[in-house]
């Protein structure tokens, strides 16, 4: 890939943010590790880290001298969940749906060519789908991925289909067919697409301006969520999604 839009962004900033993103995989890292991770010279990384540390985005563990995310991140993350965030507003409704169906309920929003699980309530059953909030997942596998693409902007669909995520043309064409099916049915399903033994049903949530803002997903083990069962549950999920859409701000 070429330099693309070399003028429109600031390289040093992007590099610093790449450093921050290293901490999604590991909680603490040394300078040399970070340097290797992002492929930059030690001195460059050191300078960038000093800037991050100065603003409190990164700190050094007093004992190990290793770098970790700083407390400014705690401060910022506390302000993430504003009252107008779907992840906050829809939580009670998600709990109701969880209690109704007995399975784990998740809420996804799209971010670029990926999706983020911004909220989740776990099933209380012994065998259940565990869904950590904050997880970033691909858009081209899973029920909510299909929903987010099928009911999203046409440009997104083009961009995803033209991207490099497909193992072969067959996979891409199968996905395209599933998109059509999703638009027709109003919901999507997935059987062991991303995790073996796991199944999911997902439906779009539209705000009052008829724009899709999130995907609501119910997921669990395949022996409880058979194809038939998912078809039945879909009605409840779509109804809940409709109700949720009316609760949103804009």
Partner DNA sequence: AACAAGGTTTCACTCTTTGAAACGAGAGGC
Partner DNA sequence: GCCTCTCGTTTCAAAGAGTGAAACCTTGTT
Contact footprint for DNA (CB under 7 A):
7-8, 10-13, 15, 30-33, 40-44, 46-48, 50, 65-66
Check: CB of residue 214 under 8 Å from CB of residue 242: no
- The CB-of-2 to its own copies minimum distance in angstroms stands at 16
User: In terms of residues, how long is the chain?
Assistant: 250
Q: Which helix (H) or strand (E) holds 216?
A: strand 212-221
In 3D space, the residue among 155, 143, 154 whose CA is nearest the CA of residue 218 turns out to be: 143
* Binding span for its own copies by CB under 8 A among 47-55, 97-105, 169-177, 186-194: 47-55
Q: How many C-beta atoms lie closer than 10 Å to residue 226's C-beta?
A: 12
Question: What's the rounded Cα separation, in Å, for the pair 208 and 103?
Answer: 28
Which C-beta is closer to DNA: that of 30 or that of 163? 30
Binding its own copies (rule: CB under 8 A), the pick from 36, 54, 92, 197 is 54
Bridge partners of 29? 67
Question: Which option in its own copies, DNA, none does residue 77 bind, with CB closer than 5 to 8 A by kind?
Answer: its own copies
- The CB-of-111 to DNA minimum distance in angstroms stands at 18
Q: ∠ at Cα 68 (8, 129), nearest 5°?
A: 90
Which C-beta is closer to DNA: that of 36 or that of 197? 36
Check: CB of residue 179 under 8 Å from CB of residue 157: yes
- Interface with its own copies: number of residues (CB under 8 A): 54
In 3D space, the residue among 82, 152, 84, 78 whose CA is nearest the CA of residue 113 turns out to be: 152
Using CB under 8 A as the criterion, what x/- string covers residues 167-206 for binding its own copies? ----------------------------------------
Q: Where on the chain is the footprint of its own copies (CB under 8 A)?
A: 8-10, 12-14, 16-18, 20-21, 23-24, 27, 47-48, 50-52, 54-57, 59, 62-64, 69-80, 82, 84, 109, 111-112, 116, 118, 132-136, 209, 211, 250
């Amino acid at each position: 890939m070429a330099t693309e839009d070399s003028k429109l962004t600031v390289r040093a900033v992007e590099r610093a943010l790449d450093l921050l993103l290293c901490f999604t995989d590991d909680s603490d890292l040394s300078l040399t590790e970070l340097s290797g991770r992002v492929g930059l010279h030690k001195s460059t990384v050191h300078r960038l880290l000093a800037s991050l540390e100065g603003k409190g985005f990164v700190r050094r563990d007093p004992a190990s001298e290793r770098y970790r995310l700083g407390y400014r991140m705690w401060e910022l993350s506390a302000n993430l969940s504003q009252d107008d965030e779907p992840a906050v507003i829809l939580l009670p409704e998600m709990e109701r749906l969880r209690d109704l169906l007995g399975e784990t309920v998740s809420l996804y929003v799209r971010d670029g060519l990926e999706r983020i699980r911004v909220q989740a309530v776990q099933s209380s059953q012994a065998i259940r789908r565990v869904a950590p909030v904050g997880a970033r997942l691909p858009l081209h596998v899973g029920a909510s991925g299909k929903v987010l693409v099928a009911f999203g902007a046409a440009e997104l669909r083009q961009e995803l289909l033209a991207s490099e995520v497909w193992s072969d043309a067959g996979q891409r064409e199968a996905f395209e067919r599933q998109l059509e099916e999703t638009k027709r049915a109003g919901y999507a399903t997935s059987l062991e697409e991303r995790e073996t033994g796991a199944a999911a049903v997902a439906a779009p949530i539209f705000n009052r301006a008829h724009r899709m803002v999130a995907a609501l997903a119910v997921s669990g083990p395949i022996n409880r969520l058979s194809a038939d069962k998912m078809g039945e549950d879909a009605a409840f999920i779509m109804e809940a999604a409709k109700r949720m859409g009316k609760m949103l701000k804009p």
